[in-house]
Homo-oligomer: A and B are copies of this chain.
Amino acid sequence: MLPAISKEPLLDQCRRMLLIRHFEERLIGLHHEGRFRGHYHVYIGQEGTGVPAISLLRPDDLLFSTHRNHGHILARGGDPGRLLAEILGRRDGYNRGKGGSFHTSPRELGFLQCSGVVGGILPLGAGAAYAAKSRGAGQIAVCLFGDGALEEGAIPETFNLASLWKLPVLFLCENNGKYGAGNAVGAAQSSTMAAYPLTDLPQAYKIPAVQVDGTDAGVVHETLRENIDAIRSGAGPRFIETLTVRWPGSETNWPVVKAPTTVELAWDASGAPEDVRDWYRNSDPLLRFMRELVENGHVDRDELEAINRSVTEQISAAVDFAFDSPYPDLAEAETDVFV
């Protein structure tokens, strides 16, 4: 279903999902062309979580993300040019080239840390919530992380602290391992986690926890709206797990685009290679969102094409911007160690 909001914000969400998708597909292309080095992770297939979830936040809310942060930054209104510049290690990147893909973290959008250490942000997010609570202005902290993070001991420690101190923090777990390789359906979400469903773990700490379909932006939106309201009003932490099927392009360590996203693809996936067709038909939150927009009469396919075109143009401009940005001066290597 679609989020229960009016047409303009719906189209805005669609636009952001497309922006994320095209950004990542382009990024993969640039990497294959050898135009940047370093490891990176893409958000494709999880747009149905990040976009509706982040749309519900206030400007003063505080965000923490992981190595899989590009989508969160763009969902929050980040500039794809500055994001890409950071991934390229350029001076105009959000972190002036010092952070790179994993750590791009625009403070002006409320991001305090994107950590490449699995689980690293959860204690930090609880701390930001501690600060928010001490100010008492309804501000909340949000931790966006993957299912794997629950395997780190920092997480149960954080659940305990957040629960005991009723901290205003949203734990948003993006479980991209549904039907993951080697896992029986209904068995462990991750082959290396005995606590399943994952919601059992926060619940053991008396943190209300819900599992939802992460390909259904409407359900994500509705669930998060309720829970964010609760957190803001002082009810303490909440844990939401959104389940998505891992995008087949990211099954190896180095992503590959097997079927470039088009508006067309939402209605006809026959052009996609057979082994990935099912994913685009049944598990892609963006294509589903576009179909629902049309089915519900908000737009027709031509209008979607127009949005899509403007997004791809925006990406092209971003790519030019990023590559035009120079590397930082060498002197930059020795600044920012201390204030």
Q: Chain A interface (Cβ within 8 Å of chain B)?
A: 151-157, 159-160, 163-164, 192-195, 200-201, 203-207
Q: A164-B194, A194-B207 are in contact. List 19 more A-B contacts (CB 8 A).
A: A151-B160, A152-B157, A153-B153, A153-B154, A153-B155, A153-B157, A155-B156, A156-B201, A160-B192, A160-B193, A160-B194, A160-B195, A163-B194, A164-B192, A195-B204, A195-B205, A200-B204, A201-B204, A204-B204
Task: Please give the distance in Å from A294's CB to the nearest CB on chain B.
Answer: 43
Q: With the chains together, A155 CA to B194 CA distance in Å?
A: 14
A293 to chain B minimum Cβ distance, whole angstroms, is 39
Question: How many Å lie between the Cα of A73 and that of B205 in the bound state?
Answer: 34
Copies of this chain, complex-wide, total: 2
**Minimum CB–CB distance for A191 against chain B, Å:** 9
How far is it, in angstroms, between the C-alpha of A205 and the C-alpha of B200 when the chains are bound?
8
Instruction: Please measure, in the bound complex, the distance between the C-alpha atom of A204 and the C-alpha atom of B151, giving whole angstroms.
Output: 13
Chain B residue at smallest Cβ distance from A196: B206
**Which among B153, B163, B192, B193 is the interface contact of A152 at CB below 8 angstroms?**
B153
- Given A192-B164, A206-B194, A151 and B159 touching (CB < 8 A)? no
In the A-B complex, the 7 residue pairs with the smallest Cβ-Cβ separation, listed nearest first, are A153-B153, A163-B194, A156-B156, A204-B204, A153-B157, A200-B204, A194-B205
